[in-house]
Chain A
Amino acid sequence: MNIDPYNAVVRAYFDCPEHMGDIGGGAVAFFEDQGMRIRLSAKVVDGKIKKLGFRAWGCPHVIAAAEAFCRQFEGRSVAELEEFKTSQIMGDLAVPVEKTGRILVLEDTVRSLRAAIQDRITNQAQD
C-alpha cells in the first residue's frame, strides 16, 4: 500500500508553484497529450534562460514536474536544455511508474520549447 502518493517536494511545488504564469514576449511551447496540457514560456537573453514560466492542467505530479523544470533551468544556458531528461524529476518527485507517460508530456513540451527558442534566435538573427 503506497501510503502518501505525494512526497514533500510534490506537495511544496503544488502548494506554491512559483513559476506559474506566462513570460510575456518570450518563447512559448504548448503540448497536450494523455489528457494533460502543459505550456512553457521562457525569456532568453544571450543564450541564457533568464526566466521560465509554466501553466499546466493535470494531476499534482504533472504540475509539480513543470514547476521543478522551471526551478531547475532558470539561469542556465539554452544549450543545457538538451540535457533535460524526465528521469531526474521522476526520481525527485517519486512519480509512480504508471504516471510515466504523463511526465513524458513535459519532455515533449521542453523539446518544443527548445525549438521555439531556436526559432526566435534564428528569426532575431535574420531581423
Chain B
Amino acid sequence: MISKEPPITPELVAEHGLKPDEYQRIRDLIGREPTFTELGIFSAMWNEHCSYKSSKVHLRTLHTQAPWVIQGPGENAGIVSIGDGLAVVFKMESHNHPSYIEPYQGAATGIGGILRDVFTMGARPIACLNALSFGDPSHPKTRHLVAGVVAGIGGYGNSFGVPTVGGQVRFHTRYDGNCLVNAMAVGLIEVSKIFYAKAVGVGNPVVYLGSKTGRDGIHGATMASAEFGDDAEEKRPTVQVGDPFAEKLLLEACLEIMAKDCVIAIQDMGAAGLTCSAVEMGAKGDLGITLDLDKVPCREPGMTAYEMMLSESQERMLMVLRPEKEAEAEAIFRKWGLDFAVVGETTPTKRFVVRHRGEVVADLPIKELGDEAPVYHRPYVETPRPVPLLASEVQAPVTLADALEKLLASPDLCSKRWVYEQYDHLILGNTVQRPGGDAAVVRINEGPKALALTTDVTPRYCEADPFEGGKQAVAEAWRNLVAVGARPLAVTDNLNFGSPERPETMGQLVGCIRGIGEACRKLDFPVVSGNVSLYNETNGRPILPTPTIGGVGLIDDVALVATLAFKAEGEAILLVGETQGWLGQSLYLREICGREEGAPPPVDLALERRAGEFVRELIHDRVATAVHDVSDGGLLVAIAEMAMASGLGARLYGAPVMIPPHAFWFGEDQARYVVTVPQGEAEAVIARARGAGVTVRRLGVTGGDALQLPGERPMLVQVLTERFESWLPAYMAGHAP
C-alpha cells in the first residue's frame, strides 16, 4: 500500500529480530506481505521483551493466587489488598541493556518506566527499590557503570519525588559486559479506583498524553532482547533521555483526571511505545483501534510512520476517554503543561489501523498481534545437581577475626551507603525504616499500618542449582520481611537470564521458575507481577542466572517494627533455626578461599515457615529487641551487622563441638534469624521455641565495644565499621578494588 517504504527483504526481516519461520507466520496471519511499518509493529510485538515467547509456558506454572490478591500477573502491575479499602500496587522491571550503553539515562528511564506502570493503574507511587548487578570491580567499565546507574536512579527518583528505600548491589565477573538494573516501584491505591488497559465502547476517543514523540530508542525493545557483542557501543543512537519533571506532571495530571472520572482505559507507552499500548488496549477490550499519526505531537519534523510507531520517547500515555469528558480532561492536561491530542478512536472491527498522511500504513488483526505471537517450548537441559561440599573440605581461616574483617570489606557484603545516600529515601515523610536494615518500612498515609519492602536474589546459588536458588530468592525476601515484623503478602519477580536459545541457559530459567513457584506456594506468597529479561550475555557468555524477587509485606502497627541494631547491654543473643555449617557456594568460600563450588544451602520451606512465624510472634509480643536474618556471609557477619548498627559489641560463646568453627560462623544455612531478648526472657523464649518446633541456641550476650569469641582477639566494633563502610567509597574514588 505504501510506495516510499523500503521493500521487505530477508535481511530486513532478520534485522528486526524475526526468524524466517516467524516471518512466514506473519504472512500466513495477514495473507500478504507486511508493509515496512507493519513489519516494525510485528517485530515489536513479537520480540521476547513484549511477547514472553520463551518464558510464557513456564511462567504459567507460578503460584499467583491468594485471597488478598486483587490483580495478578498480566496487567501493568500486580495489586494486593491491605485492608481499609486500600491496596498496594507494585512491579519490578529491568533496564539492563540501555543501562550498559548509557548508564545514567538507561537507569533513569528504567525508573521512569516502572513508575508509569504503577501510576497508570491509578496508584500514587510511595516507594522505589532497585537491585543492581555489576561486573567485577576490576573490570575497566564497572566503576563508570556504578557511578552512572546510581546517579541515574537518584536523578530520576529524587526529582520525581518518590523515596528510594532499598535494594541490593552485587558484583561478579559474569556481569562484566552486561550489568543488571532492576527497578521496583510501589504505589498505593483505593480498591474502588483501579484503572486498567482494557478499552471499552466503540467510537470513543483515543488520546495521546504527555511528552512529544521523538526518534528516541527506536528499536529499544528489540535491543533489549538482543545479545551484546563487542560492537555494543555501535547500537548507541537508540538512547532515550528521561525527563522526571515531565513524568511528575504526568503523574499529577493522570491522577487528577482519574479522580474526575474521565478515563475508560489507560496504558503507558513503554517498550515499543505507541504500538504496544494501542494494541494492548484494543486486544484486551476485543475492539479495534484506529490511529491517525498526523495528530501525534512530534518533537522532530519529518518523522515516518515507522518511527512514530516504534519510538520509545518517555513520559507518554495513551487513554481511552469518556467522550463527554474530553474537554475537561484536556483542560487538566493543559494546566499541567502537557501535550494532549486525540489521535484515534475505538472501532468494532478488531483491527489495528494506522493512517499517516492520507495513507493506511498498517491494517492488522489486533488480537492476533498479541495472542498469536509465537510461543516456544524451547529445548532445555537441567543443570546437574551439584555435590554438597563438606566443611572438612574447606580450609579454616587463620583467625575468625581476620576472615570477618575481610568479608565485611568485600564488594558484595560491604555497606552500600555510598549508593543509598544518593537516593532521597525520606521524601513523602513516611520512611520508618531507611536503607541499611533487612527490609525498608514505609508507613501508609498517617499509619498505623506500614509496608515492608525488599529485593533479594543470590545468583551464585542459582547458577549452582537453579531450583534451590529460585526457592532461596523467595525465601530470603520472605525472611527479610519477617525480620522487620511484617506479614509477607506477595512478590514481583524479575527474571534476568542469558539466551533462551541455549539449552543450558533455558534449563536455568526453567529450574529457577520451578523453585520460585515451589517457594511461593509453600510460603503462601504469590507472584502478582514480574518481568523477564533474556539474552543478557556478552560474546556468548551468559550472566549468572538472576531471578530478582521483590517482596512486599504488611505491618499492622508501625510501633511494632523490629530493627537489627542491638538495643542494650547484657541482652541474650539467640539463634533461631538450624545450623549444619553449609559452606558450599558461601561468600566465605569465595572471598576467603577463592573457590566457587559445591551445592548451595538447601531451603527447607516448612522449617522456613515455622522459624519465620515464631520470630514474627516474638516481634509482635515485644519480646524480641533486635532481629536480623542470616544470609550472605553467615552468622558472624549477621552479628557484626547488628553490632555495627548499634555501636555495641557482644561476648559470644564457642561453636558447638559437632561443627567446625568456620563452618558454624560463616556457613550460609537458610531459615535462620539472630534475635536479642532481655536476659530474663531467654529461658521462656527457648521453651516457647521448643513448643513451636523451632531450634533456638544461645549465641552470647550483648555489651562492650567489641565482638569477643573464645580464643580470638577482640574485634572492635569501630574497626569493623571502618572496614564495612570504606570499601565502596574508596573504590568509587578510584582506588584499586
Say whether A and B bind each other.
no
